[in-house]
Chains A and B, each alone.
Chain A
């Protein structure tokens, strides 16, 4: 199935989506990599205010190239980064912020899949390296936070996107994890290969 989603999405909408479906999203997407996940969780636990309401946006594992033209930031290239690095943070992140859509590449592990099931969220993969394709769907850079402290790749970039995709859902809110299934099958095949 293919879905066109407008953010923020409801629990009902998320529950309709199954692993293997393709989605395109319109709304606000915020980039967050290792450092941003860590910092957001720390601030939350200290009871401090965060610059973004992560329950209303999609979180995008991405360290873009952006260029300042006059007063405005322009996105040059913005493909996804490897999501498995965020595996150590994602359960805690989704639990605290109620984020419903996580976007990245390469798939995520059991802990994230558990968070998606418990808190009704999905993980979707944007084609790795397809940075110009992604940049073309980003209509505007609305804001940037933590830029001085974390640098261009790790900062929180707030993007307004239109028909951002194709995103292939690999973890749904029902407990399926497509990339882990592929990997498990590959292990079984590899075990049987004799050189």
Chain B
């Protein structure tokens, strides 16, 4: 079973870096149709690149990211003990076979491990759920967009207005750096760590999918409109679509704190999932 899981991880990584999800591609197409020069040229190049990556089975971007996993494991899933090792080995194998760019550098020595593994890397976010199945999602997160992440502990007195202002101003300063059109994840509340976890997890939501709660969905729409009105545009060259979507998640906060975390995902909004059942059967899921 371990070998089967390792191969499934290799395929999952390959699929994620080569084949962009359709909802993202559709959003980029819509942006292109709606755009003028010089942003139009950028979006045409992006769409052509997505197609070439699929045809030639090559990673769409040379930055194949930090391998970040989200694992939902059922309490009765029989292969719980194999998952971690399978992910680490799968990443190592995928680095050679796909190939991926080696992106894990030792903080102390500055040396690249050359296989995308190292201290805490690949990183696995675990979630224990009911049942006997397991869902593994990979988000290969590029460095350029990751560098545009931020966290601010706002004074609660500034309220949600202050939160929105902060997000807007931050995305203006980020400008062309995170490879727009981007998807923005915003985590509000909790503590510093919880806000950032929520912001990043929000990136897994499909483009165009609104939060279930009306008030949060409205905040997402409002931010989306505000950021796009600034005209940063594709690659920061000026244009109508700076962000494809904004996803907000919230947690209850401490009375004295109002943490706001922002995670930015480049246009190459890569995410892929598989489901494994108790018999060890594996499916790709959307």
Partners in one complex: yes
Knowing A82-B144, A127-B45, the reply to whether A62 touches B231 (Cβ < 8 A) is no
Residue of B nearest to A132 (CB): B52
Mask, A124-165, CB within 8 Å of B = 1, is 010111111101100000000000000111000000000000
Knowing A128-B179, A131-B59, A183-B236, the reply to whether A67 touches B99 (Cβ < 8 A) is yes
A107 touches B236 (CB 8 A): yes
Contacts of A195 on B, CB cut-off 8 Å? 160-161, 164-165, 222, 226
> Chain A's nearest CB lies how many Å from the CB of B213?
18
In the complex, A79 Cα to B142 Cα: how many Å?
12
Knowing A129-B268, A152-B102, the reply to whether A186 touches B52 (Cβ < 8 A) is no
> Chain A's nearest CB lies how many Å from the CB of B195?
19
B172 beta carbon closer than 8 Å to chain A: yes
> Chain B's nearest CB lies how many Å from the CB of A154?
8
B45 touches A189 (CB 8 A): no
Contacts of B222 on A, CB cut-off 8 Å? 195
Residue of B nearest to A22 (CB): B41
Contacts of B102 on A, CB cut-off 8 Å? 151-153
Contacts of B76 on A, CB cut-off 8 Å? none
B168 touches A193 (CB 8 A): yes
A179 beta carbon closer than 8 Å to chain B: yes
A27 beta carbon closer than 8 Å to chain B: no
Which of A125, A130, A168 has the most B CB atoms < 10 Å from its CB? A130
Contacts of B267 on A, CB cut-off 8 Å? 128-129
Contact of A132 among B60, B105, B226, B235 (CB under 8 A): B60
B52 touches A136 (CB 8 A): yes
Mask, B47-85, CB within 8 Å of A = 1, is 011001100101111111000000000000000000000
In the complex, A83 Cα to B236 Cα: how many Å?
12
Knowing A151-B114, A166-B45, A189-B229, the reply to whether A128 touches B62 (Cβ < 8 A) is no
Contacts of B172 on A, CB cut-off 8 Å? 183, 186-187, 190
In the complex, A22 Cα to B37 Cα: how many Å?
11
Contacts of B231 on A, CB cut-off 8 Å? 182, 185-186, 189
How many A-B pairs with Cβ below 8 Å? 171
Q: Which of B72-128 contact A (CB under 8 A)?
A: 99-103, 105, 111-112, 114
Mask, B223-246, CB within 8 Å of A = 1, is 000100111110111100000000
B62 touches A193 (CB 8 A): no
In the complex, A6 Cα to B105 Cα: how many Å?
37
Interface size on A, residues (CB 8 A): 44
| Chain A contact residues: helix, strand, loop or mixed | mixed
B147 beta carbon closer than 8 Å to chain A: yes
Q: Which of A100-123 contact B (CB under 8 A)?
A: 105-107
A183 touches B175 (CB 8 A): yes
Residue of B nearest to A191 (CB): B169
Residue of A nearest to B51 (CB): A132
B187 beta carbon closer than 8 Å to chain A: no
B64 touches A65 (CB 8 A): yes
B38 beta carbon closer than 8 Å to chain A: yes
Knowing A76-B58, A133-B45, the reply to whether A179 touches B236 (Cβ < 8 A) is yes
> Chain B's nearest CB lies how many Å from the CB of A105?
6
B237 touches A125 (CB 8 A): yes
Q: Which of A63-90 contact B (CB under 8 A)?
A: 63-65, 67, 76-79, 81-82, 84
In the complex, A152 Cα to B165 Cα: how many Å?
40
In the A-B complex, list the 5 residue pairs whose CB atoms are closest, starting with the nearest.
A151-B112, A128-B179, A186-B230, A77-B62, A127-B45
